[in-house]
């Protein structure tokens, strides 16, 4: 497969590059980025991610982002405040 110079530069910056492979839409990414994505998706060495797994990942992401900080409580009533 040949890619353009612009595509190669985008990949070197860590960006994804959409490509069409015989009618199938694909994305080129660097191997190190692919490995990070796989690490997030493959919890416990399994290739299948359940809804429960996704909920756990989201909960961990929120906790690590200070979602439990009392200052974030304002967002609990965000929709009501917009009315």
Tell me: pLDDT of 57 over 80.
no
Predicted TM-score (pTM) above 0.85: no
Mark whether 54 and 78 lie in a shared domain: yes
Question: What would the mean pLDDT of 8-25 be, rounded to a whole number?
Answer: 92
Host H or E run for residue 18: strand 17-21
The answer to the question of residue 72 being in a domain is yes
Which value, in Å, is the radius of gyration of the alpha carbons in the chain?
19
The answer to the question of residue 40 being in a domain is no
Mark whether 54 and 30 lie in a shared domain: no
The answer to the question of residue 39 being in a domain is no
Total number of domains in the chain = 2
Residues of the domain holding 55: 50-82
Question: What is the percentage of the chain residues whose pLDDT exceeds 70?
Answer: 67
The answer to the question of residue 70 being in a domain is yes
């Amino acid at each position: 497969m040949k890619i353009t110079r612009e595509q190669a530069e985008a990949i070197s910056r860590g960006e994804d590059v959409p490509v069409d492979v015989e009618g199938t839409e694909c994305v080129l990414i660097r191997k190190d980025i692919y490995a990070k994505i796989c690490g997030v998706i493959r919890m416990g060495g399994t290739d299948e991610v359940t809804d429960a797994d996704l909920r756990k990942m989201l909960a961990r992401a929120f906790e690590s982002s200070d979602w439990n900080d009392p200052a974030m409580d304002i967002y609990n009533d965000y929709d009501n405040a917009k009315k």
